[in-house]
């Protein structure tokens, strides 16, 4: 199964932000001097008066976003996933999550597929941190079309939200103008033997894994868990009940990521074997994106292997 490559999701976000900004004059953007990386530069060029670059100062830009939101603005605060979530975590906790303000945080350069710049620039803990913020919604879109839809959904949603985007071109999964509902997982493939729950870049790999499994007579269900919080509990419980085995796949640390959220729902509601494909307890290194994904086990082959392990434990 081959996928056409679409745009990088960071670019799709930048384009969608510009379109949304044209429709809604209440949208304001704050930047930590990385707008040509996060692609908020597209918005900045057209709406310079609604765009504020606060320099390399994530704590301040999140605090300013809080004040703008408290005075009624819909604020997009974008930087690299690792910098905005890690450097400004306390500001996100105290100035955004706790007072439940309308700030949309977007972290680009998520995962290890950023490649050559190496681990200091890789956001591999951002989803876990965002999930640890009450009131926050956490989104991980799969391709350019879903990113556009997610950006619009995020702008409409009242309250704090986090979305991660990626640096490379993402395989195309969806059609242009696809539907997106926060909190509702998308069923991408039907099957009753095992469920592969993925998001972001790992969706294409989960679909490839499902295709390989067919050759062994295994029909895998594939879910796009684009919303990690609030997680689609019903989709997870139904998958556990109907397929009896689950594999999660994400470009994030295993600790506290989407797989952890899925495992909790399964453990509390309908215990069945769950196996995870994620970055184990380590930092990555510089390299080509494909080499890194291979090196750290974020592959279709690994999903297939984990699916077989889960199936062997199935009662």
Partner 1 sequence: MEERYAIPQLQDKTRLIRRHIITMTTAAGSGHPSSSLSAVEILVALYFGGVLRHDPSRPDWPDRDRFILSKGHGCPVLYAVLVERGYFPLEWLFTLRQIGSPLEGHPNMLRVPGLEASTGSLGQGLSIGLGHALAARLDGRDYHVYVLIGDGECDEGQVWEAAMGANKYKVDNLTAIMDYNHYQQTGYVPEVMPLEPLKEKWRAFGWHTIEVDGHDFGALFKAFKEAKATKGQPTVIIAHTVKGKGVSLIEKDRGNKFHGVPLTSEQAEVALKEIEEM
Residue 8 found at the interface with partner 1 (CB under 8 A): no
Cα–Cα distance for residue pair 279/255, rounded to 1 Å: 9
**72 near partner 1, judged by CB under 8 A:** yes
Nearest residue (CB) to partner 1, 13 versus 54: 54
C-alpha count within 13 angstroms, C-beta hemisphere, residue 309? 13
Q: Binders of partner 1: how many residues, by CB under 8 A? A: 31
Residue with tokens 């395989």: 171
Contacts (CB under 8 A) with partner 1, residues 90-149: 90-91, 93-95, 98-100
**What is the C-alpha end-to-end distance of the chain, expressed in Å?**
31
Single out the segment in contact with partner 1 by CB under 8 A; choices: 45-53, 104-112, 153-161, 167-175: 45-53
What minimum distance in Å lies between the beta carbon of 54 and partner 1?
5
Catalytic residue among 15, 58, 125, 251: 58
- Kindly state whether residue 47 participates in binding partner 1, applying the rule CB under 8 A: no
Select from 3, 5, 33, 52 the one that contacts partner 1 (CB under 8 A).
Answer: 52
Rounded to whole angstroms, how far apart are CA atoms 315 and 311?
9
Q: Is 144 a catalytic residue?
A: no
Q: CB 60 → partner 1: shortest distance, Å?
A: 4
Question: Could you say whether residue 160 binds partner 1 (CB under 8 A)?
Answer: no
The rounded distance, in Å, linking the Cα atoms of 301 and 294 is: 9
**Residues at the site binding partner 1, with contacts judged by CB under 8 A:** 28, 49-50, 52, 54-55, 57, 59-73, 75, 90-91, 93-95, 98-100
Positions marked catalytic: 58
């Amino acid at each position: 199964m081959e996928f056409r490559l679409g745009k990088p999701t960071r670019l799709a976000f930048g384009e969608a932000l510009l379109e949304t900004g044209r429709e809604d004059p209440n949208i304001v953007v704050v930047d930590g001097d990385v707008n040509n990386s996060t692609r908020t530069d597209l918005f900045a060029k057209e709406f310079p008066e609604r765009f504020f670059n606060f320099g390399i100062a994530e704590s301040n830009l999140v605090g300013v976003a809080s004040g703008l939101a408290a005075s009624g603005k819909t604020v997009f605060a974008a930087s690299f996933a690792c910098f905005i979530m890690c450097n400004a975590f306390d500001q996100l906790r105290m100035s955004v999550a706790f007072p439940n303000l309308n700030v949309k945080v977007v972290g680009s350069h998520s995962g290890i597929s950023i490649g050559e710049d190496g681990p200091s620039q890789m956001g591999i803990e951002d989803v876990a941190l965002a999930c640890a913020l009450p009131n926050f919604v956490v989104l991980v879109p799969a391709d350019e079309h879903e990113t556009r839809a997610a950006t619009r959904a995020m702008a409409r949603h009242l309250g704090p939200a986090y979305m991660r985007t990626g640096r490379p071109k993402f395989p195309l999964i969806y059609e242009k103008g696809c539907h997106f509902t926060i909190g509702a997982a998308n069923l991408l493939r039907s099957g009753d033997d095992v469920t592969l729950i993925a998001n972001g870049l790992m969706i294409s790999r989960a679909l490839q894994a499902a295709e390989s499994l067919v050759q062994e007579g295994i029909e895998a269900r594939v879910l796009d868990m684009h919303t990690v919080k609030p997680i689609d509990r019903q989709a997870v419980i139904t998958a556990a009940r109907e397929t009896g085995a689950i594999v999660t796949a994400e470009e994030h640390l295993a600790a506290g990521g989407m797989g952890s959220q899925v495992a909790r729902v399964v453990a509390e509601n309908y215990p069945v074997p769950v196996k995870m494909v994620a970055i184990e307890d380590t930092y990555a290194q510089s390299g080509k994106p494909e080499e890194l994904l291979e090196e750290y086990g974020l592959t279709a082959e690994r999903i297939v292997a984990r699916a077989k392990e889960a199936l062997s434990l199935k009662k």
